[in-house]
Amino acid sequence: MDAPHSIAEIVTRIERAMQRVTQAMHPLSPAQMLEPRLSDGRSVKDVLAHLTWWDQWLLVTLPADQNTRIKPSILPLADQIPPTDHWADEMNAKVHIHNQRRELSVIEAEFAAVRKHLLERVSQMSIDDLYDPDGMAAIICQPVAPLILGIYEHLRNMRTNWSRFVGRSW
């Protein structure tokens, strides 16, 4: 897939990827969404919680846009992120445990709300925000483009596993 050339193109890609997720879930009953369907025992609920947490992390990581009314996101388990550069797997495990007792309906509502906020936030960014090392990247101390482009890449790369969840590919 070619690199996007505009924020509008990025937002469209993110929206499409998110729509595929919601469309694939639509025919599933709540009971089916709780069934462990992946080889590691995860369910659709677990994947939604995982995606939501990472999108919340991204919203917290990006500097706030002064021109928006988006409420600041609260990141569960933020105090447990290790002070190292390689903590994703550790946090994925903590997020999984954290969400085990939470209701599916709560996770679905968070997924929808965070998805909306993330799309709003990305749509307010500029291409310079993504690629200028002296701009937003300097503020958050890491490159921005991989974080933003990773949203739809993460969802796109889930296609293989997703077919195991829903019994069909998307």
Tell me the residue type at 155.
L
**Under DSSP, is residue 154 helix (H, G, I), strand (E, B) or coil?**
helix
What is the per-residue pLDDT for 169?
45
* Cα distances (angstroms) measured from residue 109 to each of 44, 45, 55: 14, 12, 14
Tell me the residue type at 158.
M
Q: Which domains does the chain have, with CATH numbers?
A: 7-166 (1.20.120)
**Does the pLDDT value for residue 163 go beyond 70?**
no
Taking a C-beta distance cutoff of 8 angstroms, is the pair 120, 68 a contact? yes
Q: Tens of pLDDT along 80-102?
A: 999 988 999 999 999 999 999 99
What tokens were used for 21?
């997720």
Residue 7 CB burial class (10 angstroms; 0-12, 13-18, ≥19): middle
Report yes or no on whether pTM surpasses 0.85.
Answer: yes
Return the closest-CA partner of residue 114 out of 1, 14, 23: 14
Distance CA 66, CA 80 (A): 28
**Does the pLDDT value for residue 5 go beyond 70?**
yes
Q: Tens of pLDDT along 47-87?
A: 999 999 999 999 999 988 777 666 667 899 999 999 988 99
Share of the chain above pLDDT 90, in %: 53
